[in-house]
Structure 1
Amino acid sequence: MSAHRPLPRWADIALLPALNLLLAFLVSGLVVLLVGENPFHAIQVILYGAFGYGDGFGYTLYYATNFIFTGLAVAVAAHAGLFNIGGDGQAYVAGLGAVVVALALDQTHWLIAMPLAVIAAGAVGGFWAFVPGWLQAKRGSHVVITTIMFNFIASALMVYMVNRVLKPASTMAPESETIEVAGRVPQLRQFFSFFGYSPVNLSIVIAIAALIGVYILIWHTKFGYAMRVLGANPTASRYAGISNSKMIMITMTISGALAGMVAINEVMGVQNRLVLDFVAGAGFVGIAVALMGRNHPIGIALAAILFGALYQGGQELQFVIPGITREMIVVIQALVILFTGAMEGLFRPSLERAFMLLSPEQKSEAIAVSTAKPES
């Protein structure tokens, strides 16, 4: 019998992640059961907390907005064969660009401040990813190493900037000046009372535009084709006349700019100032979002909503069922990340064998092999 064939696209995009997610929930249910709580009641609480009322749904969308940006950042790099795990640092330093523009223009209307802040945040985040891209393209330093090192550099830089440069003399807290109301990104509750007091804001519109833009970029442009060729076979890319080093640097810059949009959501839409650790690990969650979404914008959107629901529903679960502590919530979230990210191929060999036998060609081949008479 011939070797295993790749899964059909629908099975790879939908069925395999669904099975991994189901396994993650089953294991999480066992964890809840071990602490003496009803796992079905816990799931009900999570779903209600994430989607059952306006405030909860708003918080789900707020978290999902960050995860869309960081998931797209990982996906864009992945299509070029790069693994950008520096989304946290890129989003963090992008806060500098966002807050400087926002504070400079906070006396103007947000329609003026927001687009310029988007450009500034994208430029700073893009530069923070461009440097590791340049190091790989020109010096051979792997982006996995350099991007994670740049996360630590970003953390130290931001501590210095917030405490020594941007902190006003009138406060002791490590934060910048507060952006005036006119310069803040409006929250959706200003337009729809359904969202209650949730912090979801117009940054979600930027996230939707980014999903559409990345889809067009990767599958409907010459640059996107060159990016995918590079990711599939760098040698073939070079022989086709594509400058691999140029593609690496540009792709990493785009990736960092997408991660930088987290700063718009947080600095201008929620915190209204620059604070320490506002990214809160969204860059690393974005890795799991991209893996679960198969680096496709539609999959990333769905995965981001899932993780947003886990974050918001987990907080609801902590209040409704006191026996499930914050640490248990983190364990449940980690299990989902583990099975949908690091162990995403757990069911792949079995599914490949199953689809191989279901294929008419493979089925006839299997029958022919099993009924063939041994040679005399």
Structure 2
Amino acid sequence: MSENRLTNILVPVFAVILGIIAGAIVMIVSGYDPIAGYSALLYGAFGDRYYIGETIRQVTPYILAGLAVAFAFRTGLFNIGVEGQLIVGWLAAVWVGVAFELPKVIHLPLAIFAAAAAGALWGFIPGFLKARFRVHEVIVTIMMNYIALYVSNEIIRSVLSDQGFKSEKIHPTASLRSEFLQSLTDYSTLHYGIIISLIAAVVMWFLLEKTTTGYELRAVGFNQHASHYAGMNVNRNIILSMVISGAFAGIAGAMEGLGTFENVSVKAGFTGVGFDGIAVALLGGNSAFGIILAAILFGALKVGALEMPSAADVPTELVDIVIALIIFFVASSYLIRLVLTRLKKEGK
């Protein structure tokens, strides 16, 4: 293994360790027992079959949201609109799940495809504006998040809901839930979406690393001018990158709508999954395998945190502090790399 690759692996590991240590210090300063807090967190994430099922269920959308962010980043774009793309994907999936009665072999794939198409459309808009008018994608995708939230809420109220705030439950033929998986995990909300998310990770890896299209996308992200002189269609690749990224995010929404909740409801605010996807991609080094590992960590932290108030009297907000510290240390990876480099030199 090359030194550079080893460093790329060690940096996020050190970031997580430093984040956990810093979180423990915050707990001590705040008057809480960090050992009891982290013990409760571990038990809440992996303590029994139910908690394991809930953790895996939470990991599912995190993987897809992380892939959405990472795919755009690997091609030189910053997709901050994963949250909005997830919301419209969630809405589209549930709409298909409620509006049609079809055999499962047709209904479920159709609902997932609708979510991917909705997310792709939401990604196409900032991609087109970037390619055609050079409008910065960060600004557009942030604004598109709010448009997605409020437009979706209005559609839910006026079209999908008789109650005013929540749609009907999707038909069983569009559901990702499984009696087998639920019984295996003491009737948690675990569903088959985890398989879809793992397949999506393989698809991203194969597309970027093993195909001509992926090579062009990465080349455009690395240097648009050189890619243009090499005969590549830069504008087409910019739009394609955002469309694929949005499709991943839309499927993440389908996992929530067809698996976890089996409906869509009016949201007072953002789900947070899309924004957490940025942290997942950052910690995972924008690689498919790294994102899976990072999603497991974030899923465990989010689910395990629910046990902390009752078992250790530690507020769940402290987990958000730990996550923020991990992100801070990953973002400060230059300092960690500098320390690792000096340690290697001293070792020699």
Give the TM-score taking structure 1 as reference length: 0.87
Report the equivalent of 2:136.
142
CA distance in structure 2 between the aligned counterparts of 1:59 and 1:180, rounded to whole angstroms: 23
Could you tell which deviates more after superposition, 327-336 or 56-65?
A: 327-336
Question: Contact (CA 8 Å) 1:7, 1:351: kept in 2 or not?
Answer: no
> What is residue 368 of structure 1 aligned with on the other side?
none
CA distance in 1, matches of 2:144, 2:181: 39
Match of 2:152 in 1: 158
Most deviating of 107-116 and 256-265: 107-116
Pair 1:55 & 2:50 matched: yes
Corresponding residue of 2:41: 46
The residue aligned with 1:9 is 5
Which residue number in structure 1 is paired with residue 341 of structure 2?
352
1:80-104, CA deviations, whole angstroms, 9 ceiling, x for partnerless residues?
1001010000010112321221113
**1:240-278: CA deviation from partner (whole Å, max 9, x where unpaired):** 111111000001000000000122211111211111339
| Counterpart among 100, 105, 110 of residue 104 in structure 2 | 110
- Alignment partners' CA distance in 2, 1:178 and 1:17: 40
- Whole-Å Cα distance in 2 between the matches of residues 207 and 93 of structure 1? 18
Which residue, out of 74, 82, 97, partners 1:79?
A: 74
- Alignment partner for residue 331 of structure 1, among 321, 334, 345? 321
> Is 1:266–1:272's contact at 8 Å kept on the other side of the alignment?
yes
Q: Residue 285 of structure 1 corresponds to which residue in structure 2?
A: 276
The DSSP-based 3-state class of the residue aligned with 1:175 is coil
> What is the alpha-carbon distance in structure 2 between the residues aligned to residue 149 and residue 356 of structure 1?
47
One-letter code aligned to 1:34: V
Report the equivalent of 2:30. 35
What is the TM-score when the length of structure 2 is the normalising length? 0.94
Which residues of structure 2 form unaligned runs of 5+?
none
Q: Which runs of 5+ in 1 are unaligned?
A: 1-5, 364-376
Cα separation, 1, equivalents of 2:203 and 2:242: 16
Match 2:19 to one of 16, 24, 31: 24
- 2:204 aligned with 1:214, yes or no? yes
Matches within 5 A, 1:149-188: 149-168=143-162, 171-172=163-164, 174-187=165-178
Structure 1 segments, 4+ long, off by >6 Å, are: none
Per-residue CA deviations over 1:177-206 (Å, capped at 9, x if unaligned) read: 22133432223x534633112212111111
Does the Cα contact within 8 Å between 1:71 and 1:290 map onto a contact in 2? yes
Moved more, 255-264 or 108-117: 108-117
CA distance in 2, matches of 1:228, 1:353: 32
- Of residues 90, 93, 97, the one that matches 2:92 is 97
CA RMSD of aligned residues (A): 1.9
Amino acid in the other structure paired with 1:183: A
Q: Does the Cα contact within 8 Å between 2:280 and 2:291 map onto a contact in 1?
A: yes
Report the CA distance between 1:51 and its aligned residue. Answer: 1.4
Q: State the 1:355 CA deviation.
A: 4.1
> Would the aligned equivalents of 1:110 and 1:185 in 2 still touch at CA under 8 Å?
no
Decide which structure has the larger Cα Rg and report it.
1
- Between the aligned partners of 1:180 and 1:227, the Cα distance in structure 2 is 38
CA distance in 2, matches of 1:316, 1:197: 18
- Kindly tell me the number of residue pairs found equivalent between the two proteins: 346
Q: Flag the structure with higher helix content.
A: 2
Distance 1:306 1:222 in 2: 33
Per the alignment, in what secondary structure is the counterpart of residue 156 of structure 2?
A: helix
Q: How far is the alpha carbon of 1:239 from its aligned partner?
A: 1.1
Q: Does 1:343 align with 2:332?
A: yes
- Amino-acid identity (%): 37
